[in-house]
A = this chain, B = another copy of it.
Amino acid sequence: MRKVAVVGIGMTKFGELWDYNLRDIFTMAAIEAMDDTGCTTKDIEAFYVGSMSAGRFVGQEHIGALLADYTGLKHVPATRVEGACASGGIALREAYFAIKAGEYDVVMVGGIEKMSDLPTTEEVTTTLGAAADQEWETFMGLTFPGAYALIAKAHMNRYGTTREQLASVAVKNHKNGKNNPKAQFRREITVEQVLASSVVADPLTLLDCSPVSDGGAVAIVASEDVARKFTDTPVWITGSGQAGDTIALHDRKDLTTLPAAKFASERAYSAANIGPKDVGFAEVHDCFTIAEIVATEDLGFFPAGEGGKAAEDGLTEVDGQIPVNPSGGLKSKGHPVGATGVAQVVSVVEQLRGEAEKRQVNAPNIGLTHNIGGSGATCVVHIFSR
């Protein structure tokens, strides 16, 4: 089965992009990616885009066709995929399959969300709640901060994880995001500031939470047959894993772990023929600080219960044992939900090319992306190497 590489990347700044609409945002990212690849629209044979809820955020479904049209991709197959906040990771995976299956050689993979156009934050919260069990969780009042607060409480209760350890994740990610020109928040924060910010869902405060963001990200992927036509530094996709779980938290036996992440990473490690110790750095789904701690345990970087201490001890810093979210992560970079999975790919490619500037990890060979949908009902993990 032939290999697949990322040959070009593009990404808008993440944030509240009031001056641009959904299609503007996407085309900016797509043009940057085509420039980076050195290709034109004529080279692109198909298009996959991840978006969680363009239908509710901006009243537009069928955005595969819409964005292909506005990007100038004439008559190509254009498909939207959705797995809540894991939509971007799934888009990469579907492109990867289609190229492996021999259907295409060059595919554009996008992720997009325009979240800030809804008139109230209540509507944003309700729309995001559509990623949980709408009838049994959202309708009953559970929000996503609430869901992850339950996970945090369970982790603190079982393992003694502390508020300060949670906060240290946000502090580290803001420190990294300060060096990312496309990050939504580019200022450092302190543990004290995290603890003193207003409570959103106990124990999580405002600075434990990723923000509401607009943004788009694009990766252009190609078969090994043509990859070197576009770049001297292809970044190979060596493993892809996806797994699911119950959509509702109340149907799980244990809230301290997300089994979908374990299964997805096992599949990806197996495909890439590596283990967690071989990973040089990772971009993980830190929608809330507790999520990064659980991720580093589920991915096998640290034993269960030790992720909080590892973060506090600096093991996940850019110069630590296993750098996590050198891009700033969802917390500081921003979290336009459907774009996040592809933005992670952009960050990994920058690192593996050695183009990550002040946030560059030292000589990485293998990078990993970990993209979660909802409260862990979907997880997609990809492994990349130079």
| A67 nearest CB neighbor, chain B only | B247
| Chain B CB within 8 A of A251 CB | yes
Known: A52-B61, A64-B378. 6 other contacts (CB 8 A): A62-B82, A66-B133, A77-B242, A78-B83, A97-B103, A100-B103
How far is the CB of A323 from the nearest CB of chain B, in Å? 28
Given A130-B60, A133-B66, also A80-B81 (CB < 8 A): yes
The reply to whether A55 and B56 contact each other, CB–CB distance below 8 Å, is yes
| A131 nearest CB neighbor, chain B only | B62
Top-8 shortest CB links A-B: A77-B242, A65-B377, A100-B101, A62-B84, A61-B130, A60-B134, A101-B101, A97-B101
| Chain B CB within 8 A of A243 CB | yes
Number of interface residues of A (CB under 8 A): 62
Please state the number of chain copies in the assembly: 2
The reply to whether A244 and B65 contact each other, CB–CB distance below 8 Å, is yes
Give the interface of A toward B (CB within 8 A). Answer: 1, 21, 46-47, 52-53, 55-56, 58-62, 64-66, 68-69, 73-84, 90, 94, 96-98, 100-103, 127, 130-135, 138, 242-248, 251, 259-260, 263, 373-374, 377-378
Q: How far is the CA of A62 from the CA of B337 in the complex (A)?
A: 12
Q: How far is the CA of A248 from the CA of B98 in the complex (A)?
A: 27
How far is the CB of A91 from the nearest CB of chain B, in Å? 10
Give the most central of A52, A61, A246: most B CB within 10 Å.
A61
How far is the CB of A108 from the nearest CB of chain B, in Å? 12
How far is the CB of A56 from the nearest CB of chain B, in Å? 5
The interface residues of chain B lying within 8 Å CB-to-CB of A69 are 244-248, 251, 377
Given A1-B101, A65-B83, A80-B81, also A75-B243 (CB < 8 A): yes
